[in-house]
Amino acid sequence: MIVDKLENCRRYVALHSLFNKAFDFLREPGLSQLADGKHEIIGKQLFVLIARDTGRGRENAMLEFHRKYIDIQFVIGNEDVIGWKPTSDCQRISQPYDAERDLGFFFDRPITWLSVPAGAYAIFFPEDAHAPLGVDGNIHKAVVKIAVE
């Protein structure tokens, strides 16, 4: 898991061959104007989900996990609070992993909460269970999905 400002993104491009393209997309001036929904960058290898959501608060945010994709959760507007716990420490599955959706959930609670303001991002790898939308209030986000392989 990594949390940083977009201005420091070049430090992380060596971690994955598609990180450079992902960060280039996030730096595009029209990002905040994109419609909600899925936008392909490189087919199923690299795409972004744009959403304007209402936070669930810490009590209702659920730890989710992925196996096929890395998430770069970039906050466009307002702030998100995201919970984190290593998947290896999670014990209680709430919703079994769905390979088609690349998504599963845990009942476990995060061990830490991260404040991610506008202009910052959090990167979650498959070993990172994360609980987005832990904020109370509205949020505008871009979640870049990067295929692990």
Distances (CA, A) of 124 to 35, 73, 77: 24, 8, 20
pLDDT of residue 75: 98
Tens of pLDDT along 118-134? 999 999 999 999 999 99
pLDDT of residue 149: 80
Tens of pLDDT along 68-110? 999 999 999 999 999 999 999 999 999 999 999 999 999 999 9
* Angstrom distance (rounded) from CA 77 to CA 99: 31
User: Strands 93-98, 37-42: parallel, antiparallel or unpaired by DSSP?
Assistant: unpaired
Enter the DSSP assignment of 2: E
Percent of the chain at pLDDT exceeding 90? 99
Tens of pLDDT along 12-45? 999 999 999 999 999 999 999 999 999 999 999 9
Walk me through the domains of the chain, giving residue ranges and CATH numbers.
Answer: 2-29+41-147 (2.60.120.370)
The reply to whether the predicted model has a pTM over 0.85 is yes
pLDDT tier, 53 (very low <50, low <70, confident <90, very high otherwise): very high
pLDDT of residue 64: 98
